[in-house]
C-alpha cells in the first residue's frame, strides 16, 4: 500500500499549529502510526491506531483521520519538535511514507 505524505518540507514558527498529512493508496482501517525522527536518532512512536497517543508523548501531538486520509497535528510547535515525521500503515504488511521534514521558520 502506497503512503503519500505532504508536504515534504514544512517551515513553521514556535507556537504555530502544525498539520501534517498522510494519504494511503487504499483504506487502511485506521491502522496508521506516526513516528518522529530527530537528526542522528532512531524513530520514536508518537501515535498508533490513527489517534491513540503513545505513553510519554506530549499532549500537543494528536492524530486523526479515517479510511485513506490521516493527519498529525501539533497544537503549539516547540523548538524540540524539529524533526522528520513518518507515517506507517500496518493494515497490510508495513509501508512508510517518505516523510515530512519540519523546520523552524
Partner 1 sequence: EVQLVESGGGLVQPGRSLKLSCAASGFTFSDYNMAWVRQAPKKGLEWVATISYDGSSTYYRDSVKGRFTISRDNAKSTLYLQMDSLRSEDTATYYCARRTVFDYWGQGVMVTVSS
Binding site for partner 1 (CB under 8 A): 33, 35, 37, 42-45, 48-49, 54, 86, 88, 90, 93-99
d(CA 18, CA 38): 17
**Closer residue to partner 1 (CB): 5 or 71:** 5
Minimal distance, residue 45 CB to partner 1, in Å: 5
**Closer residue to partner 1 (CB): 71 or 88:** 88
Compute the Cα dihedral for 10, 73, 69, 28 and give only its sign. Answer: positive
**Closer residue to partner 1 (CB): 78 or 94:** 94
Compute the Cα dihedral for 37, 74, 9, 69 and give only its sign. Answer: positive
**Closer residue to partner 1 (CB): 73 or 95:** 95
Minimal distance, residue 15 CB to partner 1, in Å: 29
Length of the chain: 105
Minimal distance, residue 7 CB to partner 1, in Å: 15
Minimal distance, residue 63 CB to partner 1, in Å: 12
Residue that is written with C-alpha cell 524539529 in the block: 82
3-state DSSP assignment of residue 81: helix
Q: What is the 3-state secondary structure (H, E, C) of 10-32?
A: EEECCCCCEEEEEEECCCCCCCE
Amino acid at each position: 500500500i502506497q503512503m503519500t505524505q505532504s508536504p515534504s518540507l514544512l517551515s513553521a514558527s514556535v507556537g504555530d499549529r502544525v498539520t501534517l498529512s498522510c494519504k494511503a493508496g487504499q483504506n487502511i482501517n485506521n491502522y496508521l502510526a506516526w513516528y518522529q525522527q530527530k537528526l542522528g536518532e532512531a524513530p520514536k512512536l508518537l501515535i498508533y491506531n490513527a489517534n491513540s497517543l503513545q505513553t510519554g508523548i506530549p499532549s500537543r501531538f494528536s492524530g486523526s483521520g479515517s479510511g485513506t486520509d490521516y493527519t498529525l497535528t501539533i497544537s503549539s510547535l516547540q523548538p524540540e519538535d524539529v524533526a522528520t515525521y513518518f507515517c506507517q500503515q500496518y493494515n497490510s504488511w508495513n509501508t512508510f511514507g517518505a516523510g515530512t521534514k519540519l523546520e523552524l521558520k
